[in-house]
Every structure is written in structure tokens, then in C-alpha cells.
Amino acid sequence: MQIIIPIHGGPEDYVRDQAHRRVARPEVCPNCREPGQFDCHGYYDRYVSASKGRDSILISVRRFLCQLCRRTTSMLPDFAQPHRLVATDTVSQYLGGIRSGDGVATWEHLLESYEDRFEARLPETWHALSSAYSIRDLSNVAECMWTGACQYFGDARQFTAQFAHDLGMTVFGIYKCHRPMGNLQIHTPDSFPGVRDPPYFAGPHDNTR
Ligand SMILES: [Zn+2]
């Protein structure tokens, strides 16, 4: 499985600081749900777009192996989107309606295809968010829904991480790596057991807007 973990900064910081070497083990195995007993299990490499300019940056993603179920868990930094090259912050600008600026302009063609996919899945995403979370007045218009969900969870990174964790989804699709034991049927918005407010928030927040 994949867990999306909070990282300060972007891919440049992650690589410069060799942050992949300091990624902590999960507390609970996302596959078998047992308290973690993990062995380090190397890394896999993938690219993510740079914060500025045309470069793609190769990052190493930490993997752990559960001693109990013998399944691997990878720890994806939250500046990266699962299965997408363009970085989360740039994706967020584009889906929020921003059409200018360095990152958005550089990756416009890819971002257009992301937006197509986002819009094609909009009804399902809206249903999942509305059923599982207490987001007031969530718009079913793409741009507004994106902005509203990001506000609710804090930002685009936290939205992506929490949505994948709770429901095994992103706004672009459903992937086995976010489903325990690869089971696509386990999470549904209607059976989601729980947390109705995003646990990432340390303090009170206003989701009434
Ligand atoms: Zn396990």
C-alpha cells in the first residue's frame, strides 16, 4: 500500500536534505491493520515536477515490509501526486482555476489531461466527499469543489493524503495501492467508518463557508 506523508517543502528540499532516509515507519500496517512491525525494504524511484521550471526531479520513496502480512508499504511525500508527474501544489493551482504562473504554464498539457480526468470523475468524487465528510455546501462545480475540499482539509496535500487514506481514492481515480490488500471493494463512502472531521487539524477550523 501507499501512505502519503507530510513533508515540509518541495521535492528540491526532499532531495537536498536526503529526507527519504529519515522517513518513519507507519504505526499501524495499512494492510493487516496490526501495530507496526516493519523492516526497511529499500526505495523505489519516481519523478515529480520541480517547484519551478521544466525539470522533473527523481525522488526516492521509502518502502517498509510488514513482518506479519509480508506486504510492502510505500511512503509517498505529499508534494507528489500518486501516479501523476506534476506536483500537488501545481495541480492544485490549475484545478483551482489559475492559468498563469511558472508551474502551471510549464505543465499545461499534462494539467489539461488531469482536469479532464478530474471532471469525468466529478460525480463520484462529489458523492464520496459528501457522504464521508461533513463538508457544508460542497459545490458540484469542478473548480469550486476542488477549492472547497482543499479548504476543508487544509490544503491540497492534506486533501489528497486524507482522501486516499480514508476512502482509497484520489480525484483522478481509484488505485489498488490505497486499498488494503489491494482490495478495491473495501472502502466505500457509505461504509466509511469514521472520522467526520479531518484529524490533521490541531485546532478548530471553519468549514461552514
Ligand atoms: Zn501487515
Whether 204 is in a domain gets the answer: no
Distance 115 CA to ligand 1 centre (A): 35
pLDDT at 13: 97
Separate counts of helices (H) and strands (E) for the chain: 7, 6
Distance 174 CA to ligand 1 centre (A): 21
pLDDT at 80: 97
Q: Which residues surround the ion ligand 1 when the cut-off is CB under 5 Å? A: 29, 31-32, 66, 68-69
Whether 8 is in a domain gets the answer: yes
Q: Give the dihedral of Cα atoms 199, 21, 54, 114; nearest 10 deg.
A: -40
Distance 35 CA to ligand 1 centre (A): 8
Point out the residues of the chain with pLDDT beneath 50: 194-209
Distance 38 CA to ligand 1 centre (A): 8
- The type of residue at 56 is S
Whether 105 is in a domain gets the answer: yes
Beta bridge partners of 47: 58
Whether 95 is in a domain gets the answer: yes
Whether 174 is in a domain gets the answer: yes
pLDDT per position as a tens digit, 75-90: 999 999 999 999 999 9
Number of domains in the chain: 1
Whether 111 is in a domain gets the answer: yes
Distance 30 CA to ligand 1 centre (A): 7
Distance 166 CA to ligand 1 centre (A): 17
pTM: 0.87
Whether 208 is in a domain gets the answer: no
153 is in which domain, residue-wise?
2-182
Nearest C-alpha neighbor of 59 from the set 103, 104, 5: 5
Distance 72 CA to ligand 1 centre (A): 8
Mean pLDDT over the full length of the chain: 88
pLDDT at 27: 92
Distance 184 CA to ligand 1 centre (A): 17
Distance 65 CA to ligand 1 centre (A): 8
pLDDT at 187: 62
Whether 178 is in a domain gets the answer: yes
